[in-house]
Amino acid sequence: MIRIIITLILCISFQSISYSQNGWFWQNPLPQGNSLNSIIFVNAQTVIAAGYWGTILRSTDAGENWSLYNSNFTNGINSVAYTNENNIFAVGSDGFIIKSVNTGLDWERLSIGTNEDLSSVYFYDSNSGYITGSNGKIFKTTDAGNNWIELNSGTTIKLNTAYFINSQNGFIGGNEIILRTTNGGINWTALNLSTYINSISFINDNTGFIVGGSSNGSKSIRRTSNGGNTWINVFAPGTYTFNEIFFTNSSTGYIAGNENAFLKTTNSGVNWFIDNTISSQGFAFKSVFFQDNGTGLLAGTYGTIFKSTDHGNFWTQKSPSGTFEALRSVDFPDQNTGYIMGNTDNTGTSFFKTTNSGINWINFNTSFRVYQYDF
């Protein structure tokens, strides 16, 4: 009897799982199950999603189907941005930064001279961009990312996100702090806020929003109507942390949050309504991106990607496929036949069986509860 216990790679409740380089590859879910932190359209059809353990996914049909880029990267990727479809950047843990010049088909690792965790990359236009990170790190490029210089932020607080209204006026949000510049990042003034700021967006020169949460994981959304001089709390439904805000125009905006939270406004953020029925799995939606035609994508924990084609009114899951239940043990009584035990509840226990050495698995359920088994 061949008995193997590989809980680490099979337990879907683990969000960070390394794969691919030592003979291991994903079987469930497919194409992978690492959490995704950032998703963007780089053109009408090509989408890049990235997340933990160097995960990079690519779609060439507007998010209908996804392929996994098998990289040697193991750093967590926190953010993806681009100047054009052939100049894409991604940043992550331990100073990680990579670049693609062919719509995400291939990636090259770069260095900007830091080992600090990098939280976000943002481009205001085709040349000017910013990277933020831990220990108050801010880097700026004025040549489309070919060179980056470090700016003096005046703080050592973790900085999570950046947004610029124009080439000179911009904001960087961090853990209970927002920085503001009026001269392209040469100088920054700080305003302390009781919010861990995850995302910033403006709909005009004066009106903007920040979203995030508190240290205990509760939601936060604030609005300015005077160009960032003051920020007031805004009522919005939901309970848990908001992760990203995205406006397609001055009226219509979206928020992605934890515990299935997806919020939408159609009146410039005056009112927000929530849809937390997109999934029953309790996903944290980390990133949201919409095209002007109403096609939108949500990405988050367990590699989940949902797509809408009607401005966020209805969503379908596009990735991954498979089961999300916790898988607890695996047993192969012979070379070809194997069993995996899944969840046990009041109705019984779920099992998965293969008869071709793990290439394919079928699901069946017992009418009684099983806590240990041996074939």
Q: How many CB atoms lie within 10 A of CB 115?
A: 13
Residue whose C-alpha is closest to residue 299's, from 128, 2, 78: 78
| Cβ atoms of 161 and 178 closer than 8 Å | no
- Residue 8, pLDDT score: 34
Predicted pLDDT of residue 41: 97
Q: H or E segment at 206? A: none
pLDDT at 374: 64
The whole-number pLDDT of residue 21 equals 47
Query: Looking at residue 278, what is its pLDDT?
Result: 86
Distance, CA of 134 to CA of 156 (rounded, Å):
7
Write down all domains in the chain, each with its CATH number in brackets. 1-27+327-375 (no CATH), 28-319 (2.130.10.10)
Per-residue pLDDT of the chain (375 residues; tens, 9 = 90+): 333 333 333 333 333 334 444 567 777 777 888 999 999 999 999 999 999 999 999 999 999 999 998 778 899 999 999 999 999 999 999 999 999 999 999 999 999 999 999 999 999 999 999 999 999 999 999 999 999 999 999 999 999 999 999 999 999 999 999 999 999 999 999 999 989 999 999 999 999 999 999 877 788 999 999 999 999 999 988 888 999 999 999 999 999 999 888 999 999 999 999 987 787 677 899 999 999 999 999 999 989 999 999 999 999 999 877 776 778 788 888 998 988 887 777 777 888 888 988 888 888 777 776 766 666
Which burial class, exposed, middle or buried, applies to 317 when counting CB atoms under 10 A from its CB (0-12, 13-18, 19+)? middle
Composition of the chain by helix, strand, coil, percent to 5: 5, 45, 50
- Specify whether the CB–CB gap between 290 and 248 falls below 8 A: yes
